[in-house]
Chain A
């Protein structure tokens, strides 16, 4: 554990301009560490979709990131409304996003499927009324 680089970010729920800032920082850090471009791409897509989800569906949250030599572990934690049916939420095209959100370019229902597709480990825990925690691992090999 001691060789992990630990990063934490507050993801604001009411600032659409700054949304994606945490993913941007992580991407920059991985680049600085010389991680392969194909892995950085996967991390960027998965974390950015997750960060946007916390902004548009959960009123913000926290991103806790640990970077090891051979992998990155990303935990996205929010205290939003939670997800009643996780299997349904993971279906391509399923979205509860309003027209407002769609006008912003999100709400295609591809976020969670993208996150799962681009990560080596994906775990979603959610309790209605309590919040949602997404844990993702991307291996650098």
Chain B
């Protein structure tokens, strides 16, 4: 699924990565606990989180995650945007709550990052 489709599906605001709309994302994981992301996530490209601080971006970078979706309309801090730009990570924000954001993306074909196949 392309980033621009995800932005559309989630009615999201793009804070960083405007030029990455054609980036392909094939799977996702969702968590507010960064150790969960570090422990259970294999190869995926999208992190959905209600947490909004620089360590979300660091965690994403450590796992080579290229896109962060903030839920509940969270606004990324300047620090987050700065690190994300350096690392080529897109940050978008949606008014959806976590459960709904995940549901919308899953229904539209984005699989979980902790499974080989569905």
Contacts and interface: CB of A to CB of B under 8 A. Distances in A.
A44 B54 CA distance: 16
Contacts, number: 69
B29 to A, nearest CB: 14
A48 B62 contact: yes
Interface in B7-58: 32-36, 38-39, 49, 51, 53-56, 58
Contacts of A58: none
Given A45-B38, A45-B62, A48-B62, A16 B32 contact: no
Interface of B: 32-36, 38-39, 49, 51, 53-56, 58-59, 61-64, 79
Main SS of chain A's interface residues?
Answer: helix
A60 interface: no
A108 B33 contact: yes
Given A17-B54, A27-B62, A113-B39, 7 more contacts: A19-B55, A23-B58, A41-B62, A44-B62, A105-B55, A106-B35, A108-B33
